[in-house]
Structure 1
């Protein structure tokens, strides 16, 4: 009699490609997760403890680090358990919770980066009106919206996906992803495709477009200014720009992986690419901001002593 996986579970099939390296991968990922947690917590601690850093730009940086902790915690504990397990089954509810956390983490990053782009745009292009436009109330409102807006939109897509009748339970990935679940559907997915397109446009393309627009305006203002002015703008904008580019590249790799079925051609490359957007931004963000912003670097040394 053929054994069947209980329908209450999904089977994450991509772990078979790293079974020979799982102890090495587990050790490396534990160290990586420890670094992500400690580096982002340190950055948040530095910003919250020093009144000199209680400015909009630094508060948004702390929000970005908080989101990195949120996304990493939603991914790494389960991933580390699966690395050591012989069977990689995940219950339906846990799978959809993981999808929700990972997708909201990614969308939150983009909305926070777009809010930070607005902050830099006002600071560079309208410096005399900065403290009138970027008030403490504005910072709170923008921060809340940056979290709530993606949360509601992602919840709508995942709720629709959870209602689908599925004809299989195998997910070709090392974590649950919405598109991989949708591909298992036995019924039409036209409505979900339309809903997913709306969510993609509002949570990805709108923020991306605004960040590009903001930096075009900043570039035009800097074009006519002195070298000293350009240096100051570069010092504050470069970390944000690096974070934005890294998020775009890693996000594109994950989308390409889902659509072009790389796991069938090069499974190991598929595993590595699927990890990029949940690993690289949380690792890189605290390094970029701590090393490039002198105010954070100076106060970080005080906390570390």
Structure 2
């Protein structure tokens, strides 16, 4: 490993968690490739359905499109490197590539929670203030909200973790299948208080604040729904359930990540310890299109109309 004296030098790390899987690497490669392509296809289909059907050009579905784009971005940040390392003998990756992967993954995580917070706010305005909904949640404001979410998430990561480039490293073995900032910082010759402060600040700004806003929105929705008719309660449940499940699944993923990296769990098999931190990256990108695609009536109906039109066009051509 080259030691880094300044930010212009390059350091190579070894992703040691791949180990020697022998011929099983071909099976793992096929499974991971199919899962990655399935994520891309499922999210793209939902984006296309919303884009094609003008009846879905509403703030809620525009925000959902943004969420699907982020699912593809998060998956692309992980799986291509994962697939390429399957057939690598050295499993080496440079600091620059590690930092790029970390940037994409952590930005995506922040975008996910901020987008869910924006969607929760949209549902709050729709259910609790229906008469002013079109004024507050107009198209221009929604696109501005999406832009701010991405810029905010990117800058929060850069300001929190750009110091990694100035670190000097005394080791190069990362016991993971992807670049995790906690494991990289542990390889530095001296771990400063800056890393702890960065973790806390990024967690507060990118996780706790969006989660708190989401929670407040749903608590207000719940309070209003208790006083409305049964029909309105059912409508609120139908539109809010996918978001609640998404937030809950992300919380489970964060817990698994925390358990795996913050504590030593020697009783857990190595395979499980590798998969646990990637729980959210594995299941969340596929959960989003299926939860919204099958649970929201408008999208389900639009998809059915889209499928019928395609079948009719094929029959006409024949």
Fold match (TM-score > 0.5): yes
1:277 maps to 280
Q: Distance in 1 between matches of 2:36 and 2:116?
A: 23
Question: TM-score w.r.t. structure 2 length?
Answer: 0.90
> Which of 30, 35, 40 is the equivalent residue of 2:33?
30
2:219 maps to 216
Secondary structure of 1:119 counterpart: helix
1:138 maps to 141
2:110 maps to 107
Q: Distance in 1 between matches of 2:22 and 2:271?
A: 11
On the 8 A contact 1:182/1:189 being kept in 2, the answer is: no
> Which of 54, 60, 63 is the equivalent residue of 2:63?
60
> Which of 232, 236, 243 is the equivalent residue of 1:240?
243
2:96 maps to 93
Q: Distance in 1 between matches of 2:190 and 2:34?
A: 43
C-alpha displacement of 1:24: 1.9
1:302 maps to 305
Matched, 1:191 2:178: no
**Structure 2 segments unaligned to the other structure (5+ residues):** 4-10, 311-318
Once the two structures are superposed, what CA deviation does each residue of 1:121-178 show, in whole Å capped at 9, x if it has no partner? 1111111111111111210111111111010010122211121111111111110011
Q: Distance in 2 between matches of 1:230 and 1:279?
A: 32
**Structure 1 segments unaligned to the other structure (5+ residues):** none
1:169 maps to 172
C-alpha displacement of 1:274: 2.4
Once the two structures are superposed, what CA deviation does each residue of 1:194-253 show, in whole Å capped at 9, x if it has no partner? 122112101100111111111111111111222111111111111111111111111221
Residues 263, 115 of structure 1: alpha-carbon distance in 2 compared, 3 angstrom cutoff: farther
Question: TM-score w.r.t. structure 1 length?
Answer: 0.94
C-alpha displacement of 1:272: 1.6
Q: Distance in 1 between matches of 2:63 and 2:190?
A: 42
C-alpha displacement of 1:261: 3.6
Secondary structure of 1:27 counterpart: helix
Secondary structure of 1:175 counterpart: coil
Secondary structure of 1:210 counterpart: helix
The count of corresponding residues between Structure 1 and Structure 2 is 301
On the 8 A contact 1:13/1:172 being kept in 2, the answer is: yes
Q: 65-74 or 191-200, which moves further after superposition?
A: 191-200
CA RMSD of aligned residues (A): 1.6
4+ residue stretches of structure 1 with deviation over 3 A? 17-21, 261-265
1:127 maps to 130
Q: Distance in 1 between matches of 2:306 and 2:102?
A: 36
Q: Distance in 2 between matches of 1:9 and 1:118?
A: 43
C-alpha displacement of 1:49: 1.2
